[in-house]
């Protein structure tokens, strides 16, 4: 690329839940020609996600909740199995994921490990997601989890054998991208017992 993209105009299309913008910009193609393009970009902030695992039991903690976008796009029930996750708001990624873990799963975790960060839908969404793993034990369970009612969260906490979660992913029963990435991360690292 021969030059930086140049933003020509920005229009706020919606500020309902998060912000949807329309950008008009100039982009220098590999050939050197400059092209004017228009794109819509959804800004919902950045987020963090975590996969909790227990070496001794060979289990992982996942969640199940209703996700409207999946329902309107072919998921019959709208229910999705996922790793615990949340938006950063004003927190740093580590503080965010500790808070979300306790709210959603009921586990108060201590040591967490960042494994990577990734743009999850770079064609239309600004969000970068920070990925973590952490070990959990039964002693870390401080409440039932399930999310925050005032945020309209209704989250089921699932404790599954790691191999069962891998099998569910292979059968298409787990379709969430961040969850697949973290399960595969553990799998590539040799499974739970070698973490």
Q: How far apart are CA 38 and CA 184, in angstroms?
A: 36
The pLDDT of residue 193 is: 62
Q: What CA–CA distances, in Å, run from 74 to 69, 100, 153?
A: 9, 28, 22
Average pLDDT over residues 46-70: 96
| Average pLDDT of the residues of the chain | 93
**Which CATH number is 47-194's, of 3.40.50.2300, 3.90.79.10, 3.30.420.40, 3.40.50.1950?**
3.90.79.10
Given a cut of 70, is residue 177 above it in pLDDT?
yes
What contacts 79, CB < 8 A, 6 or more positions away? 64, 65, 66, 67
pTM of the model: 0.91
Model pLDDT for residues 20-55, shown as the tens digit of each residue: 999 999 999 999 999 999 999 999 999 999 999 999
What contacts 74, CB < 8 A, 6 or more positions away? none
Q: How far apart are CA 128 and CA 93, in angstroms?
A: 11
Average pLDDT over residues 77-100: 94
Model pLDDT for residues 121-141, shown as the tens digit of each residue: 999 999 999 999 999 999 999
The pLDDT of residue 190 is: 82
- Per DSSP (E only), the strands in the chain are 6-14, 19-28, 34-43, 47-54, 59-66, 79-82, 84-87, 112-119, 128-135, 156-161
Q: What whole-number percentage of the chain has pLDDT above 90? A: 85
The encoded tokens of residue 165 equal 């979660």
Name the pLDDT band for 1 (thresholds 50, 70, 90). very low
């Amino acid at each position: 690329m021969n030059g930086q993209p140049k933003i020509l105009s920005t229009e706020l299309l919606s500020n309902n839940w998060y912000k949807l913008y329309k950008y008009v910009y100039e982009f220098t193609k590999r050939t050197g020609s400059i092209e004017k393009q228009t794109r819509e970009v959804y800004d919902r902030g950045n987020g963090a996600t975590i996969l909790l695992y227990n070496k001794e039991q060979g289990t992982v903690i996942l969640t199940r909740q209703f996700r409207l976008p999946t329902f309107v796009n072919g998921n019959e029930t709208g229910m999705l199995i996922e790793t615990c996750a949340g938006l950063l708001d004003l927190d740093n990624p580590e503080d965010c994921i500790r808070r979300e873990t306790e709210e959603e799963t009921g586990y108060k975790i201590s040591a967490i490990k960042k494994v990577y960060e990734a743009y999850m839908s770079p064609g239309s969404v600004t969000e970068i997601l920070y990925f973590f793993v952490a070990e959990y034990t039964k002693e870390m369970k401080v409440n039932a989890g399930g999310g925050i009612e005032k945020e309209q969260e209704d989250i089921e906490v699932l404790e599954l054998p790691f191999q069962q979660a891998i099998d569910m992913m292979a059968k298409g029963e787990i379709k969430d991208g961040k969850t697949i990435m973290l399960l595969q991360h553990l799998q590539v690292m040799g499974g739970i017992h070698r973490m």
